[in-house]
């Protein structure tokens, strides 16, 4: 790893080579002493561009440590429920759209991991880019002790109401887990008619590692479904609005009418029955 920095002709190496080398480094694989060794070596170079590279390198390291601390706090929150060995986090996505299902995910993480094995980047799914969510969704699924995804269709929502379906997808996701949790942490809502221990966490996707993980895989799953629907119904811009009531979406409903995946009970209050 340090071979290039131990090169006797270090200062003869081009700026591009050194930049490429530094950019290839992962703090995940570096010990603290190695980071400071690399930084010192770069700082001693007389070239201003390399000294700037050293500054940027350390700034990135500081940001990495801040993120590590933030994620550590998410794990600490979940581990704070010491009387429970297996904790499932649960969250939903799609409560408010005009079209598509409401989706919930439940995730049981291994909370007894060292810092380097925590899942960096966990957060409220709405705060992440699409690319970051998709990347994290795969990581979560590979590292979770168990996860499950559940949904209620737009027809279910029209028939039973969004409140009932929100509660139902929470229950279905937990019951579908391969491992039975000792405690369920749900984002925002206590699960009704549910026999297992359950604690609602306000803004849980920003406090709990397990809930944040659930919010991400639920969001990615639902967004993928809506992108598939965009191929069937190209006029409604589902690949961008994922069913939410954007101007373009509403204009399409007014022009072409409702599709088979629209929530009729939601449309009555927005554009009137004449367009259904």
| Residue 228 labelled as part of a binding site | no
Q: How far apart are CA 10 and CA 199, in angstroms?
A: 57
Contact between 144 and 107 under an 8 Å Cβ cutoff? The reply is yes
Which residue bears the tokens 């942490």?
185
Residues forming a β-bridge with 91: 105
* 130 carries a ligand binding annotation: no
> E strands within the chain?
87-93, 102-108, 146-152, 183-187, 198-201
Residue 158 marked in a binding site: no
CA angle 97, 100, 105 (to 5 degrees): 90
Any bridge partners for residue 5, and if so which? Answer: none
By C-alpha distance, which of 41, 144, 113, 225 is closest to 21?
41
Closest CA to 53 of 9, 4, 7, 16: 16
The strand order across the sheet containing 87-93 reads 146-152, 102-108, 87-93, 183-187, 198-201
Contacts 24+ apart (CB under 8 A), 2-8: 2/34, 2/37, 2/38, 5/37, 5/38, 5/41
Measured between its terminal Cα atoms, the distance across the chain in Å is 64
Residues making up the annotated binding site are: 91-92, 187
Residues making up the annotated binding site for a divalent metal cation are: 91-92, 187
């Amino acid at each position: 790893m340090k071979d290039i920095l131990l090169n006797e002709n270090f200062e003869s190496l081009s700026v591009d080579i050194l930049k490429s080398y530094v950019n290839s480094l992962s703090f995940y694989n570096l010990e603290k002493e190695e980071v400071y060794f690399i930084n010192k070596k770069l700082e001693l170079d007389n070239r201003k561009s390399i000294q700037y590279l050293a500054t940027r390198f350390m700034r990135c390291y500081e940001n990495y440590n801040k993120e590590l601390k933030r994620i550590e706090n998410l794990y600490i929150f979940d581990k704070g429920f010491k009387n429970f060995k297996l904790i499932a986090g649960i969250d939903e996505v799609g409560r408010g759209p005009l079209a598509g299902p409401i989706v919930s995910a439940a995730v049981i993480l291994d909370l007894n991991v060292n810092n380097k094995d925590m899942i960096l980047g966990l957060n409220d799914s709405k705060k992440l880019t699409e690319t970051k969510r998709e990347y994290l969704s795969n990581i979560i699924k590979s590292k979770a002790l168990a996860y499950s995804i559940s949904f209620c269709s737009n027809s279910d929502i029209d028939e039973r109401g969004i409140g009932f379906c929100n509660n139902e997808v929470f229950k279905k996701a937990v019951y579908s887990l391969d491992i039975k949790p000792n405690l369920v942490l749900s984002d925002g809502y206590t699960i009704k008619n549910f026999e297992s221990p359950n604690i609602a966490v306000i803004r849980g996707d920003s406090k709990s590692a397990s809930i944040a993980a659930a919010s991400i895989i639920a969001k990615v799953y639902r967004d993928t479904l809506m992108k598939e629907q965009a191929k069937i119904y190209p006029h409604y811009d589902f690949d961008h609005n994922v069913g939410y009531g954007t101007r373009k979406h509403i204009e399409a409903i007014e022009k072409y009418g409702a599709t088979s995946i629209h929530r009729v009970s939601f449309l009555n209050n927005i554009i009137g029955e004449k367009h259904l």
